[in-house]
Structure 1
Amino acid sequence: MNKSNKNCVDGPSQRLLQDGLFRTTITGRGAVGKDRTQRLIQVINKIPLFSGLGPTQVQAVLGACSPQRFEAGDVMCAAGTPGEELFILLSGQASVFYAADDTEIAQITPVSTIGEMSIATKQIRTSTVKATQVSNVLVIKRMALDVALKADTEAQAKILRNVVEILAMRMERDAARRQEELLEKLQHRADLALGILARRSGMPLFVLCSKRNWTPRIRSGGSLASTMKTTCAKCC
């Protein structure tokens, strides 16, 4: 995950959520026009877990929502706990922390979701999310969502399909990241081995590289000579 989590809705929908109209719809207070309701449906449809749901199905999802407020520093969800709810961040900001050493690994901004895969797969949460500003969210509890969609097998099938697609994309992304990390390690080891070989043979590094058709990695801002010197100093 990168340091800034992209919003999952467009500008007009984001403003709609942040001005409180979403909360009005959920609680039943006030009159919300057809156009505004349609925008709310678009917001839910842009959440990957609920992609493809029809208007009636989205209304059922909206009925399972409840508003909640977090102060700065409050824990929204903790690593090691069951994924019982999904959060939609309407305003404020939150950060994701790696459980092992409390390192911040991502920032979440409106309008984004938190914990959508945990609620779908019933997985134990692997990271902790804390509000870094006063934050207003919509909470969808798994039990409430199950009740809302209990009789709608079509909606259940769509959500299951979305879960499979999301997991497949994450597996592909994770595999690519692991491959990149492995290639980086192999390149580093090759650099070290090349430096040792050049030093022991007494042959200039660039001559050795040309003979073996090898291109050493040059770190940004450095030169071939400084890279060679640094490499040999670490190994010899």
Structure 2
Amino acid sequence: MSKHTHYTETASDLRMQVAEALVDHEAFETLLKHCTLKRCSATCCYDGVYLSDEEAKGINCLVDNERERFVGYGLTLPKVTVVKVRDGMAQKTATRPAEAGELANDFPEHFEKTRCVFLDSIGRCGIQRLCMEDNLGDWYLKPLTCWIHPIVILPKSKSRPRPIITIVQLDADPQKTDSYPGFASCTHCGRTDEGGEPAWLVLVKELRALGEVAGRDIFGELSAPRIDY
């Protein structure tokens, strides 16, 4: 069992993807700033997070066992905290309307003004707080795609013969449509900032943890000296 995640089946699926994935060295040179709640107010969590079946089951069990503890964090959890979406083909954490003062000053206009139900009024994640208090590590019970953000693992496709581990760019955000400018590239920790540092340095903790879960030294690959032939 990984020390970084409780979700072993989900981690196993991730490991298979990462084993054959390309690492997008150029994208990880993107300049980013470190995540701070004071600046972003957990903008990336506005729509909740999509879950594997294992993660959904784990979160439902966690809420059943620890609901009063979440109440103590100032959360008002609905009866159903994992909801079906996309005509029942997917599931994610539920959301609630954002209250006055909860959103960042530059909250993207195309994002719904909502919040994951596990966020408190200043953007702290109740699941993460519980993990830290119980010395489980920051992210042990959090969904995998939640804590690796803004790192993205794009699956192979007709135009992409192998998966790729990357930082998405504004003009190539995989969630971009005619009416939706994108997701990861529009969040505070995922958008280019000329005052920042290379993404592989900013995200060292996430890259090391992802590498341990996936059985591959991703940070080592990104930080290795370049060799010019």
Task: Give the alignment's TM-score, normalised by structure 2.
Answer: 0.24
Report the structure, 1 or 2, having the larger helix content: 1
Greater RCO (Cα-Cα under 8 Å, separation 6 or more): 2
Task: Give the alignment's TM-score, normalised by structure 1.
Answer: 0.23
